[in-house]
Amino acid sequence: MTYIKIKRYNSQNSRFELDIVELKKQEIESKIAEIAGEYLKFFKIYIKKEKMNYNLKWEYNEEEIFQSEAFDGKYILYSSDTTLTASEVVREYLGKDFVEKTFYSLKSHLNIAPVRHWKNHRIRGIFFVSMIALWLRVVYNHKLNQLSKNERIYDFDELIRRLRRVEYVEIEVENEEKCYWYLNLNDKIASQLKKMGFKKLFEEKRISHL
């Protein structure tokens, strides 16, 4: 145990005790709680006034420390669905990160909010297109993560930015089949897409005699 004696103010030998002695017992307890903060429960503190002095005694709250150690680094997962097993509750909880990132993508990258439409069929339409775009983004991101760092020429956002510049050209020549190709599609983009598994994403059919 540790004892601390708080004396009254003495101008000759201890000027630092003035503010402490002037406090009432409740105020001293409040000051101690302010200093200890959330750790106050781990201590037992006793303050007793004897004549002109205050005696303070403290000790560890062993019971509270023991209970805290039992749950140290742990927390409870509770589900309102009582039919789920413990493993299913944990799996659902771990899936929240995907849900949060999905909403982030919808709001930021896909610009789904705000929806500046009022008719039901238009609102359903923009949500449908956004869901398709989200699905493509998830698949694309998964494919990109399968590549090693050395194989990634462009990161996710940079490759998307470059793909926006790609333009489709279609030409019909008399007595020949329809021809088509893509502009602004360089070898680096095509190479990375092939490594990701999109080998036929930008197939071309050029004019035979050119």
The span from the CA of 124 to the CA of 130, in Å, is 10
Which residues are CB-contacts of 22 (< 8 A; sequence separation ≥ 6)? 9
The pLDDT of residue 194: 87
| Confidence tier at 18 by pLDDT (50, 70, 90) | very low
Task: Give helix 86-94 / helix 96-107 axis angle, nearest 10°.
Answer: 30
pLDDT of 148 above 70: yes
**Owner of token pair 């359903």:** 124
Backbone angles phi, psi at 205, to 5 degrees: -135, 100
**Interval 53-101: pLDDT, tens:** 777 788 888 888 888 887 777 778 888 888 888 888 888 887 777 677 7
SS3 label, residue 169: strand
Q: In the predicted model, is pLDDT for residue 21 greater than 70?
A: no
Question: Would you say 184 and 166 are in contact if contact means Cβ atoms under 8 Å apart?
Answer: yes
Specify whether the CB–CB gap between 202 and 190 falls below 8 A.
yes
Q: What is the DSSP letter of 8?
A: P
Each as own residue / partner, the long-range contacts of residues 115-122 (CB below 8 Å, 24 or more positions apart, any chain) are none
pLDDT tens column, 101-131: 766 766 666 566 666 778 888 888 877 887 7
Predicted confidence band at 143 (pLDDT cuts at 50, 70, 90)? confident
Q: What are phi and psi of 32, to 5 degrees?
A: -65, -45
The enclosing H or E element of 126 equals helix 120-145
Position 151 confidence tier, pLDDT thresholds 50, 70, 90: confident
For residue 76, what are the CA distances in angstroms to 41, 89, 175? 21, 11, 73
**What integer pLDDT is reported at residue 92 of this predicted model?**
81
**Amino acid type, 78:** Y
